[in-house]
Amino acid sequence: MQSSASLTISDLWIERGGNDLCKGLSFSIHPGEAWRVLGGNGTGKTSLLKVIAGISMPLEGEIFYLGQNVTSDRSPLQQEMVYLGHLMGVKSALTVEENLRWYCPERSLEELHNVAKDLGLFPFLASLVKTLSAGQQRRVALARLWLSKKTLWLLDEPFASLDVEGGVMLEVCIQQHLTSGGLVLLSTHQSLSSIIPHDVVLQP
């Protein structure tokens, strides 16, 4: 099965510990669309994102990106993807600025500083990440999204540890990404129907 959609999931079967998390799961994400993964604890939201990201493999099913079957080799997809999991994905022994330089070496220092200002991180550029609060560390991780030029965003509970202001910033960032033709698949309990009208529902 091939599709003109940027990302197509076809008949996916994911199993963990002898239990089927999903079977026959199919959906397509087109440019400018965002989808939310819904389900209770243990239904496989994180597992689905990890399978798409290439961190783990499904029992059956296929994944297409721009019409190319990337099921066995996710590298074409990974080159165009940002995956943000439960862990912050930042280097705690480095400063905020060092983290941004490490993850986004192609961006200028001015661009890094502008994003740090937008996210309220500018006063902490010289601070070690391990000295920051959980919310501030999450903002450092989210700075990768602001600075990224990747097309597909896979986000696992991205609003975790964010305050109201940080949550609003993230919603604006997602909307801007969609407006530019990006794709977003995320798990969240936030009500985001205005920018994410599509749901993938995983049943226990």
The CATH fold of domain 1-79+183-204: Rossmann fold (3.40.50)
User: What is the pTM (predicted TM-score) of this model?
Assistant: 0.88
Cβ–Cβ contacts within 10 Å for residue 99, how many?
26
Look at the block and give the residue holding tokens 């997602």.
Answer: 174
Token pair for 97: 């600025």
Closest among 71, 122, 120 to 95, alpha carbons compared: 122
**For residue range 34-68, what is the model confidence (pLDDT) as tens digits?**
999 988 888 899 999 999 999 999 999 999 999 89
Q: Give the burial class of 143: count Cβ atoms within 10 A of its Cβ; 0-12 exposed, 13-18 middle, 19 or more buried.
A: buried
Can you give the pLDDT at residue 1? 40
Low-confidence ranges of the chain (pLDDT < 70): 1-5, 191-194, 204
Cβ-proximal residues to 54 (8 Å cutoff; 6+ apart), any chain: 74, 75, 77, 78
Query: How far, in Å, CA of 96 to CA of 90, rounded?
Result: 9
Q: What H or E segment, with its residue span, contains residue 178?
A: helix 164-179
